[in-house]
Amino acid sequence: MHFFNQVFNYDHPWSHVVIGMWHKYPNPKCSHVVSIDVLDRSVDPVTGIIRTERVLGCKQKAPGWILKMFGGSEDAYVREISFIDPKNQRASISSVNMSLNNVAQCLESIEYRPASQTHTSFLQTAEITARMAIWRSVADGVERWMLQRFQDNAALGKLAFTDVLRNLWEERNVQAVAAL
Amino acid sequence: MADSLADACTPLKRSYDTCFNAWFEGYLEPAVAAGSVGAKEREEYSKQKAQEFEANCGKLWVSYKACVQNALKENGLDHLLQQTREEHPMKEPVTP
């Protein structure tokens, strides 16, 4: 098993971050994400929580040795479930790989909460586990490749989302000022 | 706005996404502000907003969803999706 976690703050209020979430892609910094589709969405009439299920299509090649051993292609799909709770100002997002799922699993968990009126805290964890009864060295190799890719994508994701939030909210501030 | 996994569904997706984003932004600020109101009022607001979402975006959702379901089948992803859903239903939020 391999683990990953990071914590940091975005310089935007929680509601801005949660609105920005839906604008994260396409993104030149995360060019590996090529498609997103909403599979399901529901608004709980009692709690007000919005649950959304999405599938993300990524172009990211696994190393040659993994492809040879387990098959697979350049097209990788990830399933993402998010819960947005406006009453408690909590957004939790969980993702798991669909592709290469029988070989290894990368389960990611993200939470956005207000850190203050103007800042939002971001907590991200990932748990990577090889699945099959395969040689320890192979399991370890697969996990380590998945972890490295996850770390790289997480770093890109952070930069990418920072840009998205800045552009989105700067543009709106300009429009708001122009409208005065 | 990102593309759909199938080109044919991309325009349907964009219409749906635009509708959702507009509704969502209208929903969020008051819902956050309503933190201080009573449970009854909050419930009324949530219910009303859920209905509004259905009214505004319901039709777009139906077309888009049908297109995606089809695309998943054509790409051989429907079984995989089913498996993933069974293993991780994720019906409730989980804190990291």
State the pLDDT at residue A60: 79
| pLDDT band, very low/low/confident/very high, at A61 (cuts 50, 70, 90) | confident
State the pLDDT at residue A160: 93
Q: What is the mean pLDDT of the segment spanning A76-103?
A: 92
**Which residues in chain A are closer than 8 Å to B93, comparing Cβ atoms?**
49, 83, 85, 90, 92
- pLDDT, one tens digit per residue, over A92-143 is 999 999 988 888 899 999 999 999 999 999 999 999 988 876 777 888 888 8
| Nearest alpha carbon to residue A79 among A107, A103, A104 | A107
Q: What is the mean pLDDT of the segment spanning A42-47?
A: 89
**Which residues in chain B are closer than 8 Å to A38, comparing Cβ atoms?**
13, 16-17, 20, 64, 68
pTM for the whole structure = 0.86
**What is the value of ipTM here, to two decimals?**
0.91
Q: What is the mean pLDDT of the segment spanning B2-25?
A: 94
Cβ-proximal residues to A166 (8 Å cutoff; 6+ apart), any chain: none
- pLDDT, one tens digit per residue, over B30-73 is 877 766 677 788 888 888 888 999 999 999 999 999 999 999 99
| Nearest alpha carbon to residue A80 among A56, A60, A114 | A56
Q: Is the pLDDT of residue B18 over 90?
A: yes
Cβ of A48 under 8 Å from any chain B Cβ?
yes
Type and span of the H or E element at B14: helix B10-33
Query: Which pairs count as long-range contacts for A143-152, CB under 8 Å and 24+ apart, including other chains?
Result: A143/A1, A143/A2, A143/A104, A144/A2, A145/A62, A145/A63, A145/A66, A146/A2, A146/A104, A146/A106, A147/A2, A147/A4, A149/A60, A150/A4, A150/A106, A150/A108, A150/A126, A151/A4
Q: What is the mean pLDDT of the segment spanning A71-99?
A: 91
Give the type of residue at A11. D
Of the listed ranges A38-42, A85-89, A116-120, A129-133, the least confidently predicted one is A129-133
Give the type of residue at A100. L
**Residue B11, token pair as written in the block:** 């325009």
**Which residues in chain A are closer than 8 Å to B9, comparing Cβ atoms?**
37
| pLDDT band, very low/low/confident/very high, at B96 (cuts 50, 70, 90) | low
State the pLDDT at residue B65: 96
CA pair distance B23, B17, nearest whole angstrom: 10
